[in-house]
Amino acid sequence: MAALMGTLGACSTEGGGSDGRLTVAAAFYPIEEIVRRVGGDAIDVVTLVPPGEEAHEYDPTPKQLEQLAEADVVFYLGQGFQPNVEKALESLPSSVQRVDLLDELTLLPITSQLPGTDGEAEGETLADGNDPHVWLAPANMRQMSASVLATLNGVAPDDATTFATNQGSYGTDLDELDTEFADGLRECRSRMLVSSHRAFGYLADAYDLTAVAIAGVSPSEEPSAKTLEAIAEFTRTNDVTTIFFEENLPSDLATTLADEVGATTDVLDTVESLSDEQLQAGDDYGSLMRANLVALRTGLGCT
């Protein structure tokens, strides 16, 4: 229910703090949750990516551009994760504080899809830059909440005590989730997380898994035939029995690979946005990540 009310609030907020509260813009859902949990009733929130939409290629509407220009603070992830959003931020007035939450995190480089290779497959060029999918590790969500706390304290110091209490409570929730993942993925038959696109590197790094992706950082990136064959051989060699694909995205790549190697498929949620059904069910970051943990434990054969 909190998630539902949050998104409804995002749709109705006009920006500019007409009620005397801060107006804070969040580029997409994980940031929205952090901002709402830390800011609480002291802020109004505008969220750019609507329910069920893919975050990478989202282009803000003219109405949202107006809301951004009237906001006090905008929180986003840089590194080209949302290029259309980043471009829109460049034109905002200087009165709007822009905070790239990646700035305070240790980022993982975009590495080869297959361990032990220098490219996606032999002879192919590897993309430059860092992986932006930081929110899929609960510890990173906690660190980003600390950055949000510091920013809100600077903008609204009178509410600093409230912000600190809220962030402390949220941090405890994230610590508990982190512990659940660490315990749940400690003993597994396989530690190879094969998925349809390269979104789970931080999750894998946090819990000693090896992430292998069929496609690239953006779901729109299509793998070559050479890459597909190399990944198929990798899954056979390492006895991978489950290929994961993302909620709200086509499963064609995962299904094709699974059929070729005799594996099953299962769903992992990238938690980039909540679907209408998830909103109605009262889902949030924690519930979706726990569903991911159940899928991982089953697919990796954890005990």
Give the model's pLDDT for residue 20: 77
Q: Which tokens sit at 142? A: 């906690």
Instruction: Domain ranges for the chain, please list them.
Output: 2-103+134-163, 178-300
67-97: per-residue pLDDT in tens?
A: 999 999 999 999 899 999 999 999 999 999 9
The whole-number pLDDT of residue 231 equals 87
* Residue 237 identity (one-letter amino acid): T
pLDDT in tens, 39-76: 999 999 999 999 989 899 999 999 999 999 999 999 99
pLDDT band (50, 70, 90) for residue 226: confident
Structure tokens at 20: 């005397």
Instruction: Using alpha carbons, select from 51, 58, 55, 54 the residue that is nearest to residue 275.
Output: 51
CA–CA separation, 75 vs 303, rounded Å?
39
For the chain, the average pLDDT equals: 88
Q: Do domains 2-103+134-163 and 178-300 have the same CATH topology?
A: yes
Question: For residue 15, is pLDDT > 50?
Answer: no
The predicted-structure confidence for 201-211, as pLDDT tens digits, reads as follows 999 999 999 99
Q: Which CATH superfamily is domain 178-300 in?
A: Nitrogenase molybdenum iron protein domain (3.40.50.1980)
Average pLDDT over residues 253-260: 85
CA distance 300 to 189: 6
pLDDT at 173 exceeding the cut of 50: yes
Fold of 2-103+134-163: Rossmann fold (3.40.50)
Residue from 248, 276, 205, 216 nearest 81 by CA = 216
The answer to whether 69 touches 94, Cβ cutoff 8 Å, is no
Residues 6+ apart with CB under 8 A from 20: none
| 269-297 pLDDT per residue, tens | 999 999 999 999 999 999 999 999 999 99
Is the full-model pTM beyond 0.75? Answer: yes
User: Measuring CA to CA, which residue among 32, 10, 37 is closest to residue 168?
Assistant: 37
For the chain, state the CA radius of gyration: 20
75: left (phi over 0), alpha (psi -120 to 50) or beta: beta
Answer whether residue 143 shows pLDDT above 70. Answer: yes
